[in-house]
Amino acid sequence: MRTLRYVVADVFTDRALAGNPVAVFTNALGLEPAQMQALARELNLSETVFVLPREGAGQARIRIFTPTRELPFAGHPTLGTAFVLGSMTQRDELTLETAQGPVAVRLERDAAKVRFGWMNQPLPSVLPFDDEAALLAALGVQRSEAPIAAYDNGIVHVFVALASRAAVAALRPDLARLAVVGDVAVNVLTGARNCWKTRMFAPSLGVAEDPATGSAAGPLAVHLARLGRIAWGDTIEIEQGAEIGRPSRLLARAEGAGERVRRVEVGGAAVVVARGEFHLVS
């Protein structure tokens, strides 16, 4: 019988039972992908992370699973894993090897305790999106207040803008119709200047609604800068998750000019809330 230990951290929050929870298996050496997927399905969180020995210049390699599939990159699992490993090793800088490439994370401490982290995300590419009518119909809205655009940083994120916070909060999308729009995460947003509210729906990825989407926060900063809603280099604050009882706060900024993106950073707090074990009979 093998014992597998994991840590649960609530990410993009500074208090327990808020933000987006992630389970981190700190030693997944020897696990097959099917076992990782089964464990992620058992825990049924947005994502579960499996830490493996490094293959390159990073401190560790990670694999990320939703309840239904593996992802090459995701934001809150990467940041949450950095918090967990940083707390175990006392390192203030970590590079985690993902299937989308290495992600460097800088941790900030209050005394010895990790309080905040900034991750340098993979640069997103801009993609065409041709199913606007089907997307709006699945969301139950008439139009987007800004051009709809898609960005790929390991997950394809589509952004739809609404006129008010009330309109975003009132959304009741048809998840079955949304799932067939495409293999994308749909982000609905509203805001101005440096304060934004979002909700994210990804039924095709096994996540009905996400409490905090770190992989979308960076592309959102890029999207807003490309539209001229913020300046390149501005830090935005994103609120997410209130509608599902998991209020979250994310920070993001993108550096670039015109259509060229040079750097994308996403930051947030996290707290460890649980530790557990699985006992698997081989």
Give the residue numbers marked as catalytic. 47
> What is the signed CA dihedral for 153, 252, 148, 73, rounded to 10 degrees?
20
CA-closest candidate to residue 270, choices 31, 151, 134, 105: 105
Distance of alpha carbon 115 from alpha carbon 96, whole angstroms? 19
Distance of alpha carbon 96 from alpha carbon 93, whole angstroms? 10
Per-position DSSP letters for 11-69, written without gaps between them:
ES-SSTT-SEEEEEES--TT--HHHHHHHHHHH-SSEEEEEE--SSSSSEEEEEE-SS-
Distance of alpha carbon 194 from alpha carbon 180, whole angstroms? 33
CA-closest candidate to residue 101, choices 55, 52, 35, 37: 55
Phi/psi at 100 (5° precision)? -95, 5
Q: Give the tokens for residue 206.
A: 């096994």
Element (H, E) at 276: strand 260-280
Q: Where are the alpha helices (DSSP H) in 205-250?
A: 214-227
Distance of alpha carbon 17 from alpha carbon 112, whole angstroms? 22
**DSSP secondary structure letter of residue 279:** E
Residues 6 or more apart whose Cβ sits within 8 Å of residue 110? none
